[in-house]
A and B are shown apart, each in its own frame.
Chain A
Amino acid sequence: MIHYLYRDQLERHPELGASMYRDRAFQFKDRLDWDVSVDENGFELDEYDHLNPLYIIWKDAAGRHGGSLRVMPTVGRTMTAEHFLDLTDGVRITSPFIWECTRFCLAPGASSSVAGALLAAGLELGLRFGLEQAVGVIYTRVLGLYRRFGHVPEVIGTKGEGNERISVCIWDVTEEARNEICRRSGVPEAMIQSWFDASFPSRFRQSAAVA
Chain B
Amino acid sequence: MSKETLESLLERLQTTKSVEELQVWTHELRDYFGVSHVFYHTATLKGEQVGAFTYSLEWVRRYIERDYRSIDPVVLGAMRRFHPMDWKACDWSSPAARKFMREALEAGVGNQGWAVPIWGPNGEFALFSLNDKCDDETWEAFTRQNAKNALLVSHLVHQQVMRIVHNELDPPSAELSPREREALAQLSVGLSRANVADSLNISENTLRAYIDSARHKLGAANVTHAVALALAKGIIVPTGTLPKY
Contact = CB atoms under 8 A, between A and B. Distances in A.
Interface of A: 6, 8, 51-52, 54, 72-77, 89-98, 129-130, 132-133, 135, 154, 156, 170-172, 200-205, 207-210
A202 B88 contact: yes
Contacts of A205: 91, 93
A73 B91 CA distance: 24
B205 A154 contact: yes
Contacts of A76: 82, 119-121, 123
Contacts of B209: 91, 93, 95, 98, 133, 135, 156, 170
A91 B121 contact: no
A77 B123 contact: yes
Interface stretch (B8-16, B28-36, B58-66, B177-185): B177-185
B83 A129 contact: yes
Enumerate the 5 nearest inter-chain pairs by beta-carbon distance, A residue then B residue, closest first: A76-B119, A210-B111, A89-B179, A90-B177, A154-B203
B136 interface: yes
Given A171-B205, A204-B89, 16 more contacts: A6-B81, A74-B213, A90-B178, A95-B209, A96-B155, A96-B216, A98-B209, A129-B83, A130-B151, A133-B205, A154-B206, A200-B83, A200-B89, A207-B92, A207-B93, A210-B101
Contacts of B213: 74, 91-95, 98
Contacts of B41: none
B151 A73 contact: no
A30 B29 CA distance: 53
B184 to A, nearest CB: 12
A172 B206 CA distance: 10
8 contacts: A6-B80, A52-B80, A75-B120, A76-B119, A91-B180, A97-B152, A202-B86, A204-B77
B177 A92 contact: yes
B119 A91 contact: no
Contacts of A130: 84, 147-148, 151
Contacts of B208: 132-133
A202 B147 contact: no
Interface residues of B, number: 48
B154 to A, nearest CB: 8
Given A90-B179, A130-B84, A51 B123 contact: yes
A151 B221 CA distance: 30
Contacts of A156: 202-203, 206, 209
Nearest to A207: B93
B210 interface: yes
B7 to A, nearest CB: 17
B89 A201 contact: yes
Contacts of B92: 204, 207-208, 210
Interface in B52-73: none
Given A6-B81, A54-B83, A95-B212, A73 B119 contact: yes
Interface centre among B93, B101, B122, B216 (most CB of A within 10 A): B216
A132 B212 contact: yes
Nearest to A89: B179
A75 B82 CA distance: 10
Contacts of A75: 118-121, 155, 216
Nearest to B92: A208
Contacts of B112: 210
Nearest to B210: A91
B37 interface: no
B90 interface: yes
Nearest to A156: B206
B87 to A, nearest CB: 8
Contacts of B90: 204, 208
B89 A170 contact: no
B27 interface: no
